[in-house]
């Protein structure tokens, strides 16, 4: 069995069905720790990216420049859109973000979780 090596910070395309029923590819950032990425788990924890720049102003989100991690457009890591996918659902690898950017995303996620737990 040929198993793809997945690392925290990797960016992948994931095909999803839109509300109109068409398949669309969206970029996702792998946030799952590499201890789990190297395990037998069949799933991977990812965070959605968006090109809607207004999302950059939301607390915890991280603005990425065009070209970072080989992204074709300026994008925003939307820390509130954390998901778990089967590894097989990951499409083509786009690239990888720097450790600094991954830490910014994790920090944003922790901020959001702390904010929610105070309610």
Determine phi and psi for 20, rounding to 5 degrees. Answer: -90, 0
Q: Could you give all domains of the chain from N- to C-terminal order, each with its CATH number? A: 10-117 (2.30.30.110)
Residues of the chain with pLDDT under 70: 1-3, 116-119
Would you call 4 helix, strand, or coil by DSSP? coil
- Residue 85's nearest CA partner among 16, 34, 24 is 16
Contact by Cβ (8 Å): 108, 100: no
Q: pLDDT value at position 1? A: 41
Q: pLDDT value at position 116? A: 66
pLDDT tens digits for 6-23? Answer: 999 999 999 988 788 888
């Amino acid at each position: 069995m040929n198993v793809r090596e997945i690392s925290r910070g990797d960016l992948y395309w994931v095909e999803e069905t839109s509300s109109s029923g068409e398949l669309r590819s969206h970029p996702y950032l792998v946030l799952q720790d590499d201890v789990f990425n190297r395990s037998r788990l069949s799933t991977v924890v990812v965070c959605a990216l968006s090109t809607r720049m207004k999302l950059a102003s939301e607390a915890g989100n991280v603005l990425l420049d065009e070209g970072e991690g080989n992204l074709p457009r300026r994008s925003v890591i939307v820390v509130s859109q954390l998901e778990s996918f089967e590894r097989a659902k990951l499409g083509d690898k786009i690239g990888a973000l720097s450790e600094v950017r991954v830490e910014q995303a994790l920090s944003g996620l922790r901020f959001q979780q702390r904010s929610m737990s105070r309610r």
